[in-house]
Structure 1
Amino acid sequence: MLPIARGVFNSLTLMTRSSRGAIHTVSAHKCKAAAAESETVEEITDESVDEGKMSGSGAPDPKDRTKVIPVETSMRYLKSAAYKTTYGDSFVWTQYRRNHKGMFAPRKTRKTCIRQGKISTGNPCPICRDEYLVLDYRNTDLLQQFISPYSGQLLSYSKTGLCQKSHLRLMVAVEQARDCGLLTYDVPFREYDYSEYYGKQEKKQEQ
């Protein structure tokens, strides 16, 4: 089926030619519905993928990570129905399980999951496996999932399963968000004994 431009819906019917050469008529309202559906999909995923990013079957390569996802797209993704269907009410790292050799997990996670623009492991960490999870200081909804609600400290990579590179980027993003005032954190309260500072002045006034 030939591609349909967006500005050809003025006529009532459209003429399309199949692979066998037969001509078919398509109603305008069906074309409008199909175009509207494709536009909503393009908001989250861009269909214009380069030929170099295609796999052998012609479909987009799921391991390719050379495409830069804007942080605004990631923020909208966290509030979309696709995110709700994938993760539900859990955090992005809750259902993740590390794949390691032997009975006991290693002390540290792998250095990185992405090498030369592609995922190089069969079990990428919770951030590397989903390209729409962008670690940025403005994406506070994602950063708060890695902060303990009890202590306010950043969760360890041994608990979240992040690779070392993603955990370092997470630390930088959290510190930037706190410096910009986007994330609140508790400051320990300290009681001062002001008599150590003003005691001498009070004695002079009494004299």
Structure 2
Amino acid sequence: MLILNTIHRIGALARANLTHKLDSTRSIISSYPRYSDADNTREEITTEEENSTVDTSEVAQVPIIPVETSIKYMSSDAYKQTYGNNLVWKLYKRNHKGQIPPKKTRKTCIRHGVISTGNPCPICRDEYLVLGHRNVKLLEQFINKYNGDVLSYSQTGICQKRHKQLLVAISRAKDYGTITFDVPIRHYNYSEWNK
């Protein structure tokens, strides 16, 4: 028991003394050969590993896909092959510590244009799923078909940032009329106004 506590303390001290975290892609590939077409000479290109700050221009960023491409993707064979007849969030299984899942999902999966987690939410993992008021097929998957309410992020597993974007997109779709919804019926007591 004493040995395990000592090893744990040494590991915690070593992690605390790290000046920078290694980027997985830059630590795997430190140098690669490049051939010049003009004179068929080989020149060596090395990356700087001493740089502690990660420049977002060097790291592969999540591309920005327009809504029109996402609408075409929703009716393509690639979408049917990936998801089949299931909803986008149906087969998503969230990883968490322990047996009891947390009540809230993570705040965001993408930070500074880079996916920052190993298990991103169903919207963040597929770059062709864009939340917009014209993408009706995607928005209808997050609406309860029995009462018309928006499904909660604890049920769908999407991150809180995407859930806010989903709420905005659904309200805009209702305003523009791309999604039909039932107006709640109100019963008035007209005897209060009749004399």
| 1:1-207 to 2 correspondences below 5 Å | 64-65=61-62, 67-198=63-194, 200=195
Any idea what the Cα deviations from partners look like across 1:39-73, whole Å, max 9, x if unmatched?
Answer: xxxxxxxxxxxx956xxxxxxx5xx31x2101000
**Counterparts of 2:189 and 2:163, CA distance in 1:** 41
Structure 2 portions without partners, runs of 5+: 1-56
- Give me the CA root mean square deviation: 1.7
Count residues with an aligned counterpart. 140
**Counterparts of 2:124 and 2:77, CA distance in 1:** 20
Structure 1 portions without partners, runs of 5+: 1-50, 54-60, 201-207
Secondary structure of 2:163's counterpart equals helix
Secondary structure of 1:143's counterpart equals helix
**Counterparts of 2:106 and 2:188, CA distance in 1:** 46
**Counterparts of 1:115 and 1:164, CA distance in 2:** 13
Indicate the structure whose relative CO is greater, using CA pairs within 8 Å and at least 6 residues apart.
2
**Counterparts of 1:111 and 1:75, CA distance in 2:** 26
Secondary structure of 1:94's counterpart equals coil
Could you tell me the TM-score, scaled by structure 1's length?
Answer: 0.64
Letter in 2 for 1:186: D
